[in-house]
Amino acid sequence: MFDSVLIANRGEIACRIIRTLRRLGIRSVVTYTDADADARHVREADAALRVSSYLDVGDVVGAAVRAGAEAVHPGYGFLAENPDLARACADHGIVFVGPPPDAIAAMGDKIRAKRTVAAAGVPVVPGRDEAGLSDDELAAAAMEVGLNAGATVLLKPSAGGGGKGMRRVQDPGGLREAIASARREALGAFGDDTLLVERYIDNPRHIEIQVFADAHGDVVHLGERECSLQRRHQKIVEEAPSPLLGTGPEGERIRAAMGASAVAAARAVGYVGAGTVEYIVSADRPGEYFFMEMNTRLQVEHPVTELAVAIGGRPGLDLVELQLRVAAGEPLPFGQDAVAFAGHAVEARVYAEDPARGFLPTGGRVLLLDEPAGPGVRVDSSLVEGAVVGGSYDPMLAKVIAAGPDRATALHRLDRALASYTLLGVGTNVAFLRSLLADPDVVAGRLDTGLVERRPTEPAEEIPDDVLAAAALERMLALEVPGPGPWDVPDGWRVGRPAWTTWRIAGREVRIRGRAADAEVSVDGAEPVRAAARRHGADLTVDHAGDRTRFVCARDGDVCHLGRDGRVWSLKETEPLAARAAETTAAAGAVRSPMPGTVAAVKAADGDEVVAGQPLVIVEAMKMEHTVTAPVDGVVSGLTVEPGAQVALDEVLAVVTPRGDN
């Protein structure tokens, strides 16, 4: 076994690998950039070396050499599927914890991968995948696989994944434009506009098989994971085993067949280490499955396999440890007969994003963090209080995983864990995850890759009165001075009786009379109700109209962050004059940044006449660009941002004054 391993990654996967290295007594070394100088993985590792970029192979290998590391573990993403890193490690006498570079290259090209596994007898989706297909040839291929007979086809880039460049085509009349659009996006994302065409599988489910191979010729599979709950081709919730296959005889037969197929795919490229063979499966015909791609690395969702699979009846599988042992030359310590499911596990990904704003990235400083624990609950995370979540990297913050003897128990435990998940200061998708898990189709296991997109968009929730009251009462508590005198209460005291104090919170009016511990509260002019608040550390207990609620609370300047049951409200207090000024700006056509990020481009200038919908500024964060457009026809003014500037959420970028108002 190794004495020292460099982790060529960051975030929660780096922390997860450190955990295994520490348990095995192996020295951990990490790389970091300036943006991550105080990150959790840097704090937890035994050593940390600065690099200019996580993606720079030379920097990473150079760091491993300087640190005296015997092996490099790439985690997932970033360099994990770059054969150049595997080759560079070999050139420097360093073990790459992953497959051989030729296996990475073979599976990294979708066309080559499909041909390779098809030759090994693995079922593939009907289509054409010759390199260099022209537009005419792609169009002809689409017709051949059934577009002209009412079938749907899928255009896919050969050079990359993640949904970039994919187009689903149902109407032959739109085929040519879809090809052109797919080529443009593929070229921009991967530098290669090569496309392939496949038949689209109706009611598709995304099921993947975890495989493991050693350098001695042994290959096993560790069962499947269901990854059908996706949004924009990005996974949100994963589980093992798949509810489509279940535990009955027919499901076991299909599972064994898919597993054998995945093993054959791994053998076809001389695979070594952990890998995942992904299949598209018809929800209507589970026995009909087709190879999509092979990910030549550890997967984000590997914890559900670790929690749901037992080896020889023993739980506690650690796939990172197994990767290290195989990379060190050890044989697999078990055979296929020892692998079995021993329960169910479900994982939910916590992202820094705002579902109410179309899942745009968020950001900020972690003011308060309390991650769940308990029987069957695990959290893989890189978060610490005080950490700043910026726009430089992927928006995934953590993974909450729950396991139980059956699916219903695992889902219940996951919901309760998310309900107790506390993160204040950075907007997340936790409340959305709870809503998704409660969907009747999800509860019943009726999944497909389009389910999330078909769900109606949840409207932005109106802030409940008790939440607004809690924010105002918290402000009162902070300002009150202990004592019985009338001057110790921050109100408009007058002779004879207490007066009302008015607070402007999140654009709403909250009026309070009396002390926070015994007050009357009126929201937006409604009939006053009795209310009271008490604070103990981060806990804020509020009585409102006879109901008692416990919030977690943190204040950051004029913003009060309140959380309960997995939902968070960030409520900004404004002075009356400032509120009126903001209303005036909004009426004039204020253009605000939809997310914290970096200005990628400016498309207008002060004095320009623009029309509604015309691009003004492009803001980029967490690998996502968003174009900010003119809200009305008018004239641009107050445009002060430049490319490269950092902007905050809701920051005013410009004002468009309607024609006739200037």
Give which of 241, 218, 224 is closest to 334, Cα–Cα: 218
Confidence of residue 585 (pLDDT cuts 50, 70, 90): very low
CATH number of 98-124+205-231+243-342: 3.30.470.20
Which fold would CATH assign to domain 126-199? Dna Ligase; domain 1 (3.30.1490)
The architecture in CATH of the region 465-574 reads 2-Layer Sandwich (3.30)
Question: What is the percent of the chain where pLDDT is above 70?
Answer: 94
Residues forming CATH 3.30.1490.20 domain(s) in the chain: 126-199
Phi and psi at residue 297, to the nearest 5°: -170, 180
Mean pLDDT of 607-614: 89
The answer on pLDDT for 478 being more than 60 is yes
Q: Give the torsion through C-alpha atoms of 243, 249, 254, 255, to 10 deg.
A: 70
Q: Are 195 and 187 in contact (CB under 8 A)?
A: no
CB atoms within 10 A of CB 492: 11
| E strand or H helix at 154 | strand 153-157
Q: Give the torsion through C-alpha atoms of 108, 112, 118, 122, to 10 deg.
A: 0
CATH number of 343-442: 3.30.470.20
Q: How far apart are CA 562 and CA 539, in angstroms?
A: 10
The model's pTM: 0.86
pLDDT value, residue 241: 97
> Helices 101-108 and 110-119 sit at what angle, rounded to 10 degrees?
100
In terms of pLDDT, which residue wins out, 577 or 153? 153
Phi and psi at residue 598, to the nearest 5°: -120, 135
The answer on pLDDT for 489 being more than 80 is no
pLDDT value, residue 51: 95
Query: Which residue type is seen at 277?
Result: V
Using alpha carbons, list the distances in angstroms from residue 645 to 128, 338, 531: 45, 56, 44
The answer on pLDDT for 129 being more than 80 is no
**pLDDT digits 0-9 by tens, 61-110:** 999 999 999 999 999 987 899 999 999 999 999 999 999 999 999 998 88
The answer on pLDDT for 526 being more than 60 is yes
The architecture in CATH of the region 577-658 reads Beta Barrel (2.40)
pLDDT value, residue 7: 98
CB atoms within 10 A of CB 337: 8
Residue 209 forms beta bridges with which residues?
A: 224, 277
Q: How far apart are CA 315 and CA 318, in angstroms?
A: 9
Q: If you average pLDDT over every residue of the chain, what do you get? A: 91
Residues forming CATH 3.30.700 domain(s) in the chain: 465-574
Q: How far apart are CA 549 and CA 543, in angstroms?
A: 7
Residues forming CATH 3.40.50.20 domain(s) in the chain: 4-97
**How far from chain centre, in Å, is Cα 328?**
32
Q: How far apart are CA 56 and CA 372, in angstroms?
A: 35
Residues forming CATH 3.30.470.20 domain(s) in the chain: 98-124+205-231+243-342, 343-442
The full DSSP string for 371-405 is ---STTEEEEE---TT-EE-SSS-SEEEEEEEEES
**pLDDT digits 0-9 by tens, 418-427:** 999 999 999 9
Q: How far apart are CA 436 and CA 429, in angstroms?
A: 10
pLDDT value, residue 460: 74
Half-sphere exposure of residue 148, counting CA atoms within 13 Å on the CB side?
6
In CATH terms, 4-97 corresponds, of 3.40.50.20, 3.40.50.720, 3.90.1150.10, 1.10.3720.10, to 3.40.50.20
pLDDT value, residue 549: 96
Mean pLDDT of 586-609: 83
Mean pLDDT of 225-247: 93
Query: Which tokens go with 506?
Result: 């999140």
The answer on pLDDT for 579 being more than 50 is no
> Helices 83-91 and 101-108 sit at what angle, rounded to 10 degrees?
170
